[in-house]
Amino acid sequence: MAIERILVSMPTRPWHREKMRQALPEAQITFSDSTNMADDELAPFDALVGEVNPNRLHVLKNLKLLQLHFSGVQEGFLQLKDKQPQAVLCSASGAYGQAISEYLLAALLSLYKLLPRYRDNQNKKVWEDLGRMRSLRGQTVLVVGAGSIGGAFAQLARALGAGEIIGVRRSEAFAHPPFDAMHTLDALDELLPLADVVSLSLPHTEETRGLMDARRFALMKEESVILNVGRGSAIDEAALLGALRSGRLWGAALDVTDTEPLPQDNPLWEEPRVLLTPHVSGRYNLDATWENVVDIAIHNLQAWPGGPFISRVDYSTGYRERVD
């Protein structure tokens, strides 16, 4: 039996809704925020696109497909494996590469060219040459989380003349362009002293929590830069502040923090070498991302039950299934 009743619980524009209706003419599609729906309203749907509280998954007893609209997968959604084994779980991994990689490049160049500090001076009406800048040309870039986002950033870095580009993945893989080498997290301590730029695009897991602590910041190359667009839990913020204030790091760009919103008394707010943004590198702030998520959802709804599915989640890892 095909998917009959679809709840789209994510923001959509009129043309997204029309596109989905045309692609799935036999299905009844409802566009509504699941948080505003009672259990008896939620229960009849056999597919959901967007987000639902993981604690309410039991209400969707006939669920066939859960299409999340974000890349990372919260642990609560992995309970589907045992509680609703008939359901296919997909993330939107692959939709955010363009948006987040462009953010990473923009943030890196802003730090290299001291633009946040010049903006601070502009607000104070201070005309002052702040001195030495940096260039990406010839730099060694370490991409920790070499999936679709990390790979897109590596391509941009390569286009701007970066030197060696090294990828780090959860599992072993062969290096492929634009990467010159590929390693697993076990090699991180050996790689940090080589890198001028370290970008993190990692999910929150027990393995990644506190990944960048004081010991690892001490391993980083003098005047290197760290960029984080994954989860804030990957960085020990006190250790990061220590590395910045000691002069070891040139700067840091953080689109994510361990606590969000960042508390007003957090010293990161006032650190001149930090570029802070409120978790905006992804989301739907770039139209292309929105279109990508809708297209992934349509593909997976049409592909049910046999697939192949885009970004189907591997329950054993919480990441999208690896396709060789």
Mean pLDDT, rounded, for 253-276:
98
97-276: CATH, from 3.30.559.30, 3.40.50.720, 3.10.105.10, 3.40.50.150: 3.40.50.720
- Of 279, 291, 299, 321, the active-site residue reads 279
Q: Please give the backbone phi and psi of residue 184, each rounded to the nearest 5 degrees, phi first.
A: -100, 170
Q: What is the pLDDT of residues 180-219, one digit of tens each?
A: 999 999 999 999 999 999 999 998 888 999 999 999 999 9
**Residue 132 annotated as catalytic:** no
- Of 231, 273, 312, 320, the active-site residue reads 231
- Identify the weakest region by mean pLDDT among 18-27, 73-82, 175-184, 226-235: 73-82
Token code pair at residue 149: 């986002």
- Of 119, 245, 260, 322, the active-site residue reads 260
Q: What is the pLDDT of residues 110-144, one digit of tens each?
A: 999 999 999 999 999 999 999 999 999 999 999 99
| pTM of this structure | 0.94
Q: Please give the backbone phi and psi of residue 119, each rounded to the nearest 5 degrees, phi first.
A: -65, -40
Question: Could you give the percent of the chain with pLDDT greater than 90?
Answer: 91
Question: Could you give the percent of the chain with pLDDT greater than 70?
Answer: 99
Sheet strand arrangement including 28-31: 28-31, 5-9, 47-50, 65-68, 88-90
**Residue 102 annotated as catalytic:** no
Token code pair at residue 189: 């301590």
Residue with tokens 């940096």: 134
Q: Please give the backbone phi and psi of residue 106, each rounded to the nearest 5 degrees, phi first.
A: -65, -40
Q: Is the pLDDT of residue 227 over 80?
A: yes
Give 2's pLDDT tier (boundaries 50, 70, 90): confident
Taking the C-alpha atoms of residue 200 and residue 203, their distance in angstroms, rounded to an integer, is 9
To which CATH superfamily is domain 5-95+286-303 assigned?
NAD(P)-binding Rossmann-like Domain (3.40.50.720)
**Residue 58 annotated as catalytic:** no
Mean pLDDT, rounded, for 241-267:
98
Q: Is the pLDDT of residue 90 over 70?
A: yes
Give the per-residue pLDDT at 252: 98
Same fold, 5-95+286-303 and 97-276: yes
Q: Is the pLDDT of residue 322 over 80?
A: no
Give 323's pLDDT tier (boundaries 50, 70, 90): low
Give the per-residue pLDDT at 206: 87
Q: Is the pLDDT of residue 319 over 90?
A: no
Q: Is the pLDDT of residue 31 over 70?
A: yes
Mean pLDDT, rounded, for 231-243:
97
Give the per-residue pLDDT at 1: 59
How many other CB atoms are there within 10 angstroms of residue 290's CB atom? 20
> Mean pLDDT of all residues in the chain?
96
Token code pair at residue 137: 């040309």
Give the per-residue pLDDT at 321: 84
Taking the C-alpha atoms of residue 154 and residue 105, their distance in angstroms, rounded to an integer, is 9
Q: Is the pLDDT of residue 160 over 60?
A: yes
- List the Cα angle 9/10/16 in 5-degree steps: 110
Q: Please give the backbone phi and psi of residue 252, each rounded to the nearest 5 degrees, phi first.
A: -145, 140
Give 318's pLDDT tier (boundaries 50, 70, 90): confident
Question: Domain spans of the chain?
Answer: 5-95+286-303, 97-276
